[in-house]
Amino acid sequence: MKRKWNWALWVGLVFALAGLFSYELLSQFPITRDFPWANLLLFAIGGILLVLGLVRAFGNPRVYRGKIVGPIFTILSLLAFSFFAYALFYVVRQMPASMGAPRVGQKAPDFTLPDQNGKSVALADLLSNSSGALLIFYRGHW
């Protein structure tokens, strides 16, 4: 008798990989930016499907296939989740303390830097004829 395709394992892997690779896209939306709940949901669905697939493959091996791909897909999914958790819950929190950063009430250190068109911009220029300036320091694009 030909055994049945164990679809839960394949779909589970797809969900787990989607959980990892959709971060770049999902982090652009305010609703999923600060906390990656949508990615965690994808991982959770993937995990449930993989468990279901494994139960079928090992509990009912005469009916379902997947005793080889099941463990392989599960390990791949766990690796994807570990990498995601490491990057999102550990790496991004490794920030310098910045104890010497200007505090509320202190003078902002002056500076002059070129903008994207090569034009020189000084903090003093930004503050003249305005009600203030917002400085956004960012990590850069790479």
Partner 1 sequence: MRSFQNRLPDFESRSIRVVAISVDPIEASRAHCQKMGFKYPFLSDGNAEVIRRYDLLHVGGGPRHSDIARPAEFLIDSAGTVRWVNLTENAAVRARPDQVLKAFDEINGSAAR
Interface residue list for partner 1 (CB under 8 A): 27-28, 30, 33-34, 36, 88, 92-96, 98-111, 113-118, 121, 123-124, 126-142
Amino acid at 55: V
Distance between CA atoms of 21 and 34, rounded to whole angstroms? 17
CB of 42 to partner 1, least distance (A): 17
In angstroms, the first-to-last Cα distance of the chain is: 54
Nearer to partner 1, 2 or 141 (CB): 141
Nearer to partner 1, 59 or 129 (CB): 129
Give whichever of 59 and 118 is closer to partner 1, judged by the CB atom: 118
Residue among 16, 1, 2, 85 at smallest CA distance from 53: 16
Cβ nearer to partner 1, comparing 72 with 87? 87
Nearest to 70 by CA among 9, 16, 14, 12: 9
- We find the least distance from the C-beta atom of residue 32 to partner 1, in angstroms, to be 11
